[in-house]
Structure 1
């Protein structure tokens, strides 16, 4: 049945665009069509732009069918939120709150900076047009002011943003490894990748993005690009890959830049954020997080293989995680049946496992949130991502469904208060500080909804993402998963100071068994879920 009326048609049009569908019916359900939290946020941003209506995320979960959602929207008064406008470039431009925290950490301990490097690698097979490659990277730098930013301290000790000129050019170092053969070449690739990922950045001078082009033969190259987190995030890497693809394609065929101009830059967002996030808006969000985290444990007390050192070293390692196709299908079906997202179900399992292993029935888990609720900033490269501290309480030994419902309610509440940067939450709740672990939480859960890398074809080239070295971690445990086709895959990153690899491999086995038990019998209490195969 086709949508009717202005609101239904607007919703259907946005769903078709976001979900890649040709048509949507009046009785279709957002999450059954493939919607998830990230797409839900983009949907709300589009509704704000199209209809001038401020829809809450919980409204979409409460009314996920198109007709019900249209009725809900029709009852909301239309509002006009202030647009993000270009800031005056003659004034000193402040850092965003998130940037300020990373800048402060860099001042405190520059050596720990490698933990905030974002290395990425692409293997390019085929005939490479090197001039088009350099031109594409130069253009991305010219387009995104954030990538040309440096952070200079003023006389009062506060940092401001300065920008290199648009034609500064991308710093690409060429390394010829074609004279090496077989294993020697692979060893050299690994060494070069590690050097590239670890080489320090100077925030006060820049550049804060750089690359190496490794030549293996006429028909094979590896492009390594490293960014500092203060100017980028996971979503930004996706933009970088898409724009690189479009620009390289155009330039290699002697065409002009096909990308639409950007209306604002990251520094405009930073200035807007400082102005908007104060007074009542700030107070209400701070109050929510103070209430949410009051009395939460300062430390997740997992059994460790080695005593926790007095100062966190950030040394990390990671192992692969794969949830088989059948289990993935069961987890998706379980989520849909209860009107929850896959992320909420994964959080239920991960928190249940951490609770069982630590013996604590109160667990706080961090998760990154894209923080791109405004359509103006969807296409910008920059450090937007925010961290939410999600608290899960298992005091009364809930059943699987009870736990999921608690997590669903808490997650939607957290999403409604996601504008306040995590660093301000930490300042507000004043946790017991320790150099031996991160504040508020020591375990993370990440679900990548944006497929990172993967296969991408360019004229005359086949691209595949390569695993870049990763020897640092901020947290004791960080589970990063991604929906790739039929299976959920990813990795478990862990602190080498605390855990041995064999222990982590056992933890992943426990998690798989627990997930299987959750979907097999959702009436079971958390304490009854097996961690070992019988």
Structure 2
């Protein structure tokens, strides 16, 4: 008799332990649920920061196009040099590892320069969308308490003079005459924060989720392996930086030598303009919520010669079938902000009918574990309902300024 079987029989005959705490799953099923389906261990450069992945790519392909926005194109070397100049200024102003720096700018190359500069200086960026209600922006500024804010004219107007009065404000469009070599921050490690991003607040007060570099590095490595992205790919970035999924749109191409085409706010809001961008820029990869894909597929025109990534909303059977027929591949993605962008992935098969069922969220990505547990923290049997728990290298550090909630939600 195996040790697991003996423990199972012992639990079944236990008359003193509360029923909810008994281990009543057969050993083979428990092994399947706990270990077999969570065997996702995979090597990745856990010691590297996000910007270091980008810098390595700059060294490999300095002249390759990195970013396109409207009529402006920046090569990898140009984007890196601009970010470096701003990063050196941030370091001079006192930015150190884990220091929070807010950024509130319109969608433009300066936005990407600002994000990279904060990371290169060792700071953690706090993204603010200037189109958001002023009450939310002011709340986040007060809670995150950055001493430095990157803001263009639009961002400055959105935040207001009162909120900025006691802070140093820099416009990432106006680069200081600094060295453009990669800054060196010896104390910075992949265990330091990359960003603090705030939840929607739909279930209460917005919470600042503290995400480390290693969390994102694991995610990018997993996505590259799962989806496949190469230097010839062109990804259309459509997501506000106030949403964590913008991290995939920006950092995945940067780490693989691909090109980012940044859609403007007007293009994102207009399906016809978005479709024109996809065609004109020969987009090969795009991530969007199902509602955006639905509006694109409702338009007349050619099929979408790209890989489609869906997330943020449930993917219906009808839409997944439409996407499967209209694209080169469809992946459904799921994950809360607290576990770094996406935690599970499912490819919609061309050879499998969904039979009217909403697309599954799939299996955990690399170095991620997923469990369905009951109210007592025990795994539920196959086919039973339970609460989703996610573990692994994507789990964030916790909530900023919310130690009680962190202890409640981030459990051992």
TM-score (norm 1): 0.22
Greater length-normalized contact order (CA 8 Å, ≥ 6 residues apart): 1
TM-score (norm 2): 0.26
- Choose between structure 1 and 2: higher helix proportion: 1
